[in-house]
Amino acid sequence: MMYESMKMRVEHDVEKGKISDEYITGDEERQAFNRWTHNFTSQDHPTVIQMGFRYGSLVEDFFTGYQLRCEGWRSMFCNPDRPAFLGNAPISLVDSLNQLKRWAVGVFEVGFSKYSPMIYGIRRLGLLMTLLYSQYAFWPIWSIPITTYAFLPQLALINRVRVFPKDLDHKRTHMLWFGSLEFLLKSLGILTHGFSLTSKVVDDEQSKRYDQGIFDFGVPSPMFVPLTMAALINLVSFIMGLAQVVKSSNLEGLLIQMFIAGFGVVNCWPIYEAMVFRKDKGKLPTKTFSLQHF
């Protein structure tokens, strides 16, 4: 009831373009609101009337801030001693990946809409601020080089193919692919995505693993399949590459591929641990481990 009453008041004031006298309780407020409403219409009324998020994207916080900057608002840093907001972040890996996928879809919705920073923002923000917002709006594109370096050099190493030159030239995740693919299918009308909720329910064991910095793989999910595939391919390619070096005593041309595979093996250690060594509920489900073979 209170919400409906406030909604009616706001809509009434937006339509009139000023605060009604019945909502003003003193002369100081009346003078202040008169200064605010002078020369303003209901379309461009400032803070008192404009409130709430701008929707139309899964990342309404990013979209709202971006739109406000385009409308001429200026940001300020506010860091009060008393926390202004307390919330829960996902602590299991599958929930974190779901949230990352949602962000990827959301920023693509902004980046490929009529409000794209490259066509809408550049006329209002200038070049530098446009580049900043473009970096956020198109960051899922990083999935292309990341996936390439996660698989191509390792597969080439397994097949004894050198993809880097002999003279060594000075030459980031799979969830971005999920988000990019989902956005593409939705744009083509093949898929209608919903709002993927992330679980905020945490048991004691899960909370303990989170505090210890241990990944929680406990829930079977297709999003774990690329992770396990990349981990196994990196491990196999590193072992086979090492065998080639020992057999031929020739590291020339294989050094960069060996380094990339070794780097992948080191970073994939939590996955190997979840597949083989862990016995808790956060280990990698057998269903996921078996699915990646197909």
Locus of tokens 């602590």 = 91
Among 32-46, 139-153, 179-193, the least confident range = 32-46
* pLDDT of 3 above 70: no
Q: Using pLDDT thresholds of 50, 70 and 90, give the confidence band for residue 18.
A: low
* pLDDT of 10 above 60: no
Whether the Cβ atoms of residue 157 and residue 241 lie closer than 8 Å to each other: yes
**Distance between CA atoms of residues 43 and 41, nearest Å:** 5
Helix axis angle for 143-158 and 255-267, nearest 10°, is 120
**Distance between CA atoms of residues 144 and 277, nearest Å:** 31
- The total of other beta-carbon atoms located within 10 Å of residue 138's CB is 17
Predicted pLDDT of residue 39: 53
Predicted pLDDT of residue 251: 64
Largest CA distance in the chain: 91
176 closest CA partner among 234, 101, 79, 69: 101
Per-position b or e across 175-209, b if 16+ CB within 10 A of its CB: bbbbbbbbbeeeeeeeeebeeeebeeebeeebeeb
* pLDDT of 76 above 70: yes
Predicted pLDDT of residue 171: 31
**Distance between CA atoms of residues 228 and 236, nearest Å:** 12
Q: What percent of the chain has pLDDT over 70?
A: 59
- The total of other beta-carbon atoms located within 10 Å of residue 133's CB is 25
Q: What is the pLDDT of residues 107-161, one digit of tens each?
A: 998 889 888 999 998 888 888 899 989 998 999 898 888 888 888 888 888 887 7
Q: Using pLDDT thresholds of 50, 70 and 90, give the confidence band for residue 93.
A: confident
Per-position DSSP letters for 235-284, written without gaps between them: HHHHHHHHHHHHHH---TTTHHHHHHHHHHHHHTHHHHIIIII--STTSP
* pLDDT of 5 above 60: no
- The total of other beta-carbon atoms located within 10 Å of residue 43's CB is 7
* pLDDT of 206 above 80: no
Angle at 217 between CA 211 and CA 219, to 5 degrees: 120
Whether the Cβ atoms of residue 19 and residue 33 lie closer than 8 Å to each other: yes
Among 31-45, 92-106, 236-250, 258-272, the least confident range = 31-45
| Domain assignments of the chain as residue spans, ordered by start | 2-51, 142-291
Tell me the pLDDT of the chain averaged across its residues. Answer: 72
Predicted pLDDT of residue 138: 92
Locus of tokens 């391919």 = 233
Could you tell me which residue, 143 or 249, shows the higher pLDDT? Answer: 143
Predicted pLDDT of residue 216: 73
Q: The whole model's pTM is what? A: 0.54
**What's the mean pLDDT in 173-180?**
58
Among 24-33, 74-83, 204-213, 217-226, the least confident range = 24-33
CA distances from 64 to 109, 115, 172, 261, 263 (A): 13, 11, 27, 41, 39
Whether the Cβ atoms of residue 150 and residue 158 lie closer than 8 Å to each other: no
**Distance between CA atoms of residues 125 and 69, nearest Å:** 7
